[in-house]
Chain A
Amino acid sequence: NAGVTQTPKFRILKIGQSMTLQCTQDMNHNYMYWYRQDPGMGLKLIYYSVGAGITDKGEVPNGYNVSRSTTEDFPLRLELAAPSQTSVYFCASSYGQGDTGELFFGEGSRLTVL
C-alpha cells in the first residue's frame, strides 16, 4: 500500500507557465482533496472531490483547476502560474461519510514560481 502519492516533489516554474500536479491513491477512498500550505497560514482547501466525476471548490480555488475521471487520480492544474502560487501543495484522501473523517496526506509538492 503506497497510500497517497504526489508528483513531482519539487518544481520551479516561470510566471505564466502551466503545469499539473499529479495525485493518486490506492486505498479506494471516495473523497480526495487538494490543500496548499503557506508558512504560518495552516492548510487551505483548494478543491475537493466526493467521487469520480464530481468536484467542488474549496476556500482558495482561483488559478487552479481539477478533474476526477477515476477513483484513484485527482490532478491539480495550474494555469498561468503567478508568484502567489508559490507554496507547498498537499493531496489528501478519506473514506468520506460514515467514518472518522481521517485525512491521509501525501508528502507534498513544493512549487516555486519565479
Chain B
Amino acid sequence: QKEVEQDPGPLSVPEGAIVSLNCTYSNSAFQYFMWYRQYSRKGPELLMYTYSSGNKEDGRFTAQVDKSSKYISLFIRDSQPSDSATYLCAMSAEYGNKLVFGAGTILRVKS
C-alpha cells in the first residue's frame, strides 16, 4: 500500500464547476499537509498549506484535513480554464521537510 494515495484522473469539468480533489494516507504521524499545483512542463508550486486538522480558505480554494479519516481534500470553486493543471498533495510528519507526494491528479477545465 502506498503511503499516500491520489487518483491520477484525468478529471474533466466544465468552466464554473466546483472541483473536489482528494488524497488518503496511511501514516498517522503526518501533520503538515500541502497542495501543489503543476502546470504542464513546469515545476510544482505551493497552492495551500494546512497544519493538522481543519479547513483553510484562500480565494476560490479551500483545503480540508480530516486526520481521523486520514483524508485531505482541495475544493476549487468557480473553476476556470487557467486552473487546468496537475494537483499534487504532499504531507510530512516533520516541519515541512521530507514531504511524501501523491501521484497527482490531472484537472482539465473546459471553457
> Which of A31, A40, A41, A105 lies in contact with B44, CB distance below 8 A?
A105
Size class of the B contact interface (CB-based, 8 Å): 20 to 34
In this assembly, does A54 line the interface, its C-beta being within 8 Å of a C-beta of chain B? no
- Whether the pair B41, A108 counts as a contact (CB closer than 8 A) is yes
Contact flag A106-B43 (CB < 8 Å), given A40-B8, A41-B103, A42-B102: yes
Chain B residues with Cβ under 8 A from A106's Cβ?
Answer: 43
Query: How far, in Å, is A76 (CB) from chain B's closest CB?
Result: 15
Those of A62-114 within 8 Å (CB) of chain B: 90, 92, 94, 96-103, 105-108
Contact flag A42-B49 (CB < 8 Å), given A4-B43, A31-B97: no
Chain A interface, >50% SS class: loop
Size class of the A contact interface (CB-based, 8 Å): 20 to 34
Query: How far, in Å, is A97 (CB) from chain B's closest CB?
Result: 6
In this assembly, does A27 line the interface, its C-beta being within 8 Å of a C-beta of chain B? no
Those of A16-72 within 8 Å (CB) of chain B: 31, 40-45, 48
> Which of B43, B88, B97, B99 lies in contact with A108, CB distance below 8 A?
B43
- Whether the pair B96, A100 counts as a contact (CB closer than 8 A) is yes
Chain A residues with Cβ under 8 A from B4's Cβ?
Answer: 42
Contact flag A42-B88 (CB < 8 Å), given A31-B97, A101-B96, A102-B49: yes
Chain B residues with Cβ under 8 A from A100's Cβ?
Answer: 49, 96
Query: How far, in Å, is A24 (CB) from chain B's closest CB?
Result: 14
- Whether the pair A40, B103 counts as a contact (CB closer than 8 A) is yes
Those of B86-111 within 8 Å (CB) of chain A: 88, 90, 92, 95-99, 101-104
Chain B residues with Cβ under 8 A from A107's Cβ?
Answer: 41-43
